Amino acid sequence: MRLHRARIALRKSGVDYFRGEGSDWVALVGLLLTVPVITLGTLVDPVWCSPTALVLPIVAGGLVLRPASLLGLYAAAAAAMIVESAKLGPYAEGAARVTPGTVLVVAACGFFGLLIAQFRSRVGVPWRRGGTMLFDLRERIRVQSKLPQLPEGWHREMALRPAGGQSFSGDFVVAARTNGGRTLEAVLTDVSGKGMDAGSRALLLSGAFGGLLGSLPPHAFLPAANAYLLRQDWDEGFATSIHLVLDLESGDYELFSAGHPPGLQLSAGSGRWEEKAAEGPLLGVYDGAQFDPIKGSLRPGDVLMLFTDGLVETSDRDIAEGIDRLTGEADRYVSGGFHGAAWHLIEAVAKDVNDDRALLLICREA
């Protein structure tokens, strides 16, 4: 139903729905020629060329043909099975018979091949390039989440783990050095949904947020991001986000939040973690939202952690308990430093959580 509404919206907007109707006659002819070859082999020597060998062109057709062409291939395969059944007869032994089981196996392969062909036709992606396209999308998200180099005395790292071991995540980071390189701006965002379901929205938003970052004053970033998200008119169009604006010379910073979990700052003097919670609504909920920052300062030895809710909140654990567990694990790295800690903290705190998890660490080294 949602896909149908999306198609109607695209037509109303004047955008034609792309179906990838490329020519496939060469592949169709090639596969049609294999059908009589397999049939002849079955009639000559059914032991080495079983009637079930017809699933080979059927499976290949599901990967390379459009649905209309695939039906023609299925018709040829059905005719071939009728010929094999008539020629071999009902009294043939072993693999020489065309049994009801053989028909069911070939029919099942044809059904799944048709589902694959319909999916490819709807998406408009050839099977040979589909894997490449997904790989490119994943790498684009990874590159956009790359953190800039920081001057001496600073350390930064980010770890991201998608839900269910997938390659796509609804969590992402965009970051840039602004103000002539003096300021680090980093935005950690959690898009509604998880894994593959949120990956396409995360890719779109990461590109848009990366373009906004540094192009607007810090206080104008989240309002602009909120307006952009509202214009998308998605059914699940909300997101949480936290925006860090850090002066790399003084260590002073501002945190802007849009419904995001609080940041955590470790004070080297006291050895305690302090929550840094700014006020602001979710992105994409209503227009004209205001985002008020909270200010702080990183002194030598201090650490700032930003994270998404998948790291600290589950169905059987509230966010306060999750934050306590995260800070408890993070205390293990205080004496030896936080280099390489981001990934290990996710492993220790939320290894088997079925949600996207992301953690950003900013350390001012002593």
Shared domain for 68 and 142, answered yes or no, is no
For residue 9, the model assigns a pLDDT of 46
- pLDDT value at position 11? 44
Instruction: Kindly report the CATH number assigned to the domain that includes residue 343.
Output: 3.60.40.10
| C-alpha distances out from residue 240 to 156, 230, 284, Å | 22, 13, 9
pLDDT at position 204: 83
Mean pLDDT computed over 239-248: 96
Same domain, 147 and 285: yes
Let me know if residue 131 belongs to a domain: no
The answer to whether residue 109 scores a pLDDT higher than 60 is yes
216 lies in the same domain as 346: yes
* DSSP assignment string, 190-248: EESS-THHHHHHHHHHHHHHHHHTTTS-HHHHHHHHHHHHHHH--TT--EEEEEEEEET
Tens digit of pLDDT for each residue in 191-213? 887 666 677 788 888 888 988 99
Round to the nearest angstrom and report the end-to-end CA distance of the chain: 57
| Final residue before a domain boundary, out of 96, 124, 152 | 124
Torsion of the alpha carbons at 283, 284, 286 and 290, rounded to the nearest 10: 20
On whether both 105 and 154 belong to a single domain, the answer is no
Average pLDDT of 225-249? 90
Cβ atoms < 10 Å from Cβ of 247: 15
Question: What is the pLDDT at residue 13?
Answer: 42
Is 106 found in the same domain as 200? no
Phi, psi of 154 (to 5 degrees): -125, 145
Is residue 130 a part of any domain in this protein? Answer: no
Within this chain, do residues 23 and 145 fall inside the same structural domain, yes or no? no
**Bridge partners, 183 (sequence order):** 178, 247
Which pLDDT does position 275 carry in this prediction? 95
Shared-domain flag, residues 185 and 325: yes
* C-alpha dist (Å) from residue 123 to 2, 7, 115, 129: 15, 12, 12, 12
What band does 19 get if pLDDT is binned at 50, 70 and 90?
Answer: very low
Helix (H) or strand (E) holding 71: helix 67-88
Please tell me whether residues 114 and 209 are part of one structural domain.
no
**Single residue among 56, 91, 124 that ends a domain in this structure:** 124
Measured between alpha carbons, how far is 37 from 52 in angstroms, rounded to an integer? 13
Tell me, yes or no, whether 168 lies in a domain.
yes
- Report whether 310 contacts 190 (CB < 8 A): yes
Tell me: do 152 and 286 sit in the same domain: yes
Within a domain: 21: yes
Q: What is the pLDDT of residue 289?
A: 92
| Mean pLDDT for the stretch of residues 4-19 | 44
C-alpha 208/C-alpha 219 separation (Å) is: 17
Return phi, psi of residue 144, to 5°.
Answer: -65, -25
Higher-confidence residue of 112 and 93: namely 112
117 lies in which domain range? 2-124
- Give the lowest-confidence range in 100-109, 179-188, 251-260, 266-275: 100-109
Give the confidence band of 165 by pLDDT, cuts at 50, 70, 90.
low
d(CA 261, CA 283): 14
Q: What does the pLDDT read at residue 301?
A: 94
Domain assignment present for residue 129? The answer is no
Average the pLDDT over 177-186 and give the result.
94
Q: Using the 3D structure, point to which of 84, 100, 124 is the last residue of a domain.
A: 124
- Same-domain status, 180 and 320: yes
**Tokens coding 281:** 């609504």
Which tens digits make up the pLDDT trace of 253-301?
A: 999 999 999 999 999 988 999 999 999 999 999 898 999 999 999 999 9
pLDDT at 50: 79
Distance separating alpha carbons of residues 77 and 83, to the nearest angstrom: 10
On the question of pLDDT at 15 being above 70, the answer is: no
Asked if the structure places residue 310 within a domain, the reply is yes
Distance between CA 67 and CA 119 in Å, rounded?
9
User: In the beta sheet, which residues pair with residue 156?
Assistant: 362
Residues 118 and 145 in one domain: no
Q: Does 103 lie in the same domain as 151?
A: no
| Res 10: pLDDT | 40
Reported as a single tens digit per residue, the pLDDT across 325-358 is 999 999 999 988 899 999 999 999 988 788 889 9
What does the block give as tokens for 111? 């059904």
The answer to the question of residue 216 being in a domain is yes
Total domains in the fold of the chain = 2
Residue 80's H or E segment, with its range, is helix 67-88
Given a contact cutoff of 8 angstroms between Cβ atoms, the answer to whether 62 and 116 are in contact is: yes
Please indicate, yes or no, if residue 260 is contained in any of the structural domains: yes
Answer yes or no: is pLDDT of 130 > 70: no
Please indicate, yes or no, whether the overall pTM of this predicted structure exceeds 0.85: no
Mean pLDDT of 131-135: 58
Q: Is the pLDDT of residue 122 over 50?
A: yes
Q: What pLDDT was estimated at residue 216?
A: 93
